[in-house]
Amino acid sequence: MIVDKIENRERYFILGEGIERALRYLAVTDFSIIKPGKYPIEGDSIFALVDEYNLRDPQSAELEAHRKYADVQFIAQGSEKIGYAPLDGNVTVEEYSIDRDIALYKGEESLISLSQGMFMILLPGDLHKPGLGDPQNRAQKVVVKIAMELIQKHS
């Protein structure tokens, strides 16, 4: 898991072309004029999910993890907390779904605050619980999904 500001994106280009493409896309796109939805960057290998939502109470959700895609979660407007935990030592509450690329876990997480212009890179094994905070507050977030073969190919 990596957390930083988008202006420091070049530090992470070493992680591979997929991460670089995602961070460049996030840096140059004006999300104030983009509607919620799915936006292809490189077909199904790299795409962006734009969403606007009310934050949720940390107790109202489980930790999640993916296998097929890495996430680059970017706060375009507002702020939120994201729960984070390593995979080891947590209890599976919903087995992995290939169709949804998600498994759910229960465990103790650390809360990490992200404000506008910050991003978090999450790889498989990085459990996360996004969108946390006061339910009266809203955020706009972009999650760029990067197929793991683009990341594994680099390493």
Residue 152's pLDDT is 61
> What confidence category does residue 59 fall into, taking pLDDT thresholds of 50, 70 and 90?
confident
CATH number at residue 74: 2.60.120.370
Average pLDDT over residues 100-126: 95
44 CB-near residues (< 8 Å, 6+ apart): 147
Please check the confidence at residue 155 and state whether its pLDDT lies above 60: no
Give the Cα separation of 105 and 79 in Å (integer).
24
Range of the domain at 44: 2-154
> What confidence category does residue 144 fall into, taking pLDDT thresholds of 50, 70 and 90?
very high
- Over the stretch 4-37, which tens digit does the pLDDT of each residue have? 999 999 999 999 999 999 999 999 999 999 999 9
> What confidence category does residue 132 fall into, taking pLDDT thresholds of 50, 70 and 90?
very high
